Structure 1
Amino acid sequence: MLKINEQAREALIGEVDGLTDEELNKKSADDQWSIKQVLEHLYLMEAAVTKTIQTQLETGEVVIAEEKPIELTINRTMKVNSPDFSLPSESFVTLEELKVNLAATHQDLKELFESTNDKQLEDRAYLHPVFGQMSLKQWIPFVGYHEMRHIEQIKEVKSKLGLK
C-alpha cells in the first residue's frame, strides 16, 4: 500500500537534490509556482490527508465507496485547482527546511497506516473533489500518485528555468 508513496518520495527528493535554495524559490513566471511552492503544497496536502483520515477513523460513519482510478491523478492534462488549505506561501524556504517538513508528514501518514487495520480504512470514505467518495484506504496511495503528478510539474519548472 505504501510502495507508491515510497517510490514517489524517493523520486521527488532525487529531482530536487542538488538545487540551490535560490533555484528552488525562483519562479519561471509570476503566475507559476516555484519548485519550493510545489514541495510546500505536497507536505501541506499530505498533512491534511493524514488529519482527515484520523478524523474519519474517529468520528466518520461507515461509507463503502467504489474503488476509484486514482492512478489517473498523474495525468497533468486535466487541470485541478488546489484546495485553499494546500496553497503554498510566497516566503523563501530552504531545501533543508522543506525536507524536514516533507519527512515529518510522510512519517505521520506511514505511522497512521501502520497503526490502522485495512477494514477500518475500507469502511470509511472522504469526498475527493474529482473522484467523489473515496475510501480512506485509497487516500493513502493517492498521496503517492499526487506526488508523482507534481514531480512532472517540478521537471517542467526546472526546464523553464534552464536547470538540470
Structure 2
Amino acid sequence: MFMLEKNSKIREEIWDSVKGLSDEQLNKVVVEGQWSIAQVLEHLRLMEENAVRGIREVLSKDEYNPTDPKPMHLIADRTIKRDAPDYLIPSNEFQTLEELRAKLASSREALENSIQGVSEEDLNNKSFPHRRFGLLSVTQWISLLGFHEQRHIGQIEEIKQSL
C-alpha cells in the first residue's frame, strides 16, 4: 500500500532527525510548558495506537460510511497551532531512544497488521471520526498519520535548535 510506504519514509526522516542525540538531549525540555523530543516521539506513538484502535473497531463492522476528500495536508502546517487532546499527551517519564524506537516500531507493526488482507473497498469506505476533520476512511487515517508525523519533524527540528 502506497501510504504505508510514504509513512515509512517519513518515519525514517524522524530517526534521521534524532540521530546523534543523547538520551539526555532527547528528554530535555528546552522551553517550559513545551514537550521534549522524547515526548514528541511518545505523542506519535500514542496517536498511532489510537488510530489503530479505531481502525480495528471500524473494520470489524459490516457498515460502509464513505467520506469526502479532506485537506489532511493541513495537519503538517505548523503555523496552525493545536493542542493535543488529553489522551494523546505524553508523560514526563525519561525514555531512551532505544525504548522509543521499540514503542514506535510496535505501534507501526500494529497499524500494518490491522489492515493486512483488508480490501481496498473496505479501506476506502469504512470510516470513523477525527476531532477536526469529521469522518475519515481508514485510508484517510493512514494518510493523516503521515502528515501528523511530518508536522512533528518540524517541531523536533525546532527543539534541536535550542539544545
TM-score interval, smaller chain: over 0.9
Task: Write out aligned runs for 1:1-164 (5 A).
Answer: 1-59=3-61, 61-161=63-163
TM-score (norm 2): 0.94
Shift of 1:60: 6.7
In structure 1, distance between residues paired with 2:56 and 2:76 = 25
The one-letter code matched in structure 2 to 1:150 is: H
The one-letter code matched in structure 2 to 1:115 is: G
In structure 2, distance between residues paired with 1:32 and 1:81 = 11
- RMSD across aligned positions (CA): 1.2
The one-letter code matched in structure 2 to 1:151 is: I
Shift of 1:122: 1.4
* Residues 34 and 157 in structure 1, CA contact (< 8 A), matched pair in contact too: yes
Runs of 4+ in 1 over 4 A off after TM superposition: none
The one-letter code matched in structure 2 to 1:9 is: R
Aligned identity (percent) is 42
In structure 1, distance between residues paired with 2:67 and 2:132 = 14
Q: Does the residue aligned with 2:135 lie in a helix, a strand or coil?
A: strand
5+ residue gaps, structure 1: none
Q: Does the residue aligned with 1:32 lie in a helix, a strand or coil?
A: coil
The one-letter code matched in structure 2 to 1:38 is: V
TM-score (norm 1): 0.93
In structure 2, distance between residues paired with 1:52 and 1:62 = 14
Deviation string, structure 1 residues 106-148 (Cα, Å, up to 9, x no partner):
1111222332111111121111122121111110121111001
Q: Residues 111, 55 of structure 1: CA spacing in aligned structure 2 closer, same or farther, 3 A cutoff?
A: same
- Equivalent pairs counted in the alignment come to 161
5+ residue gaps, structure 2: none
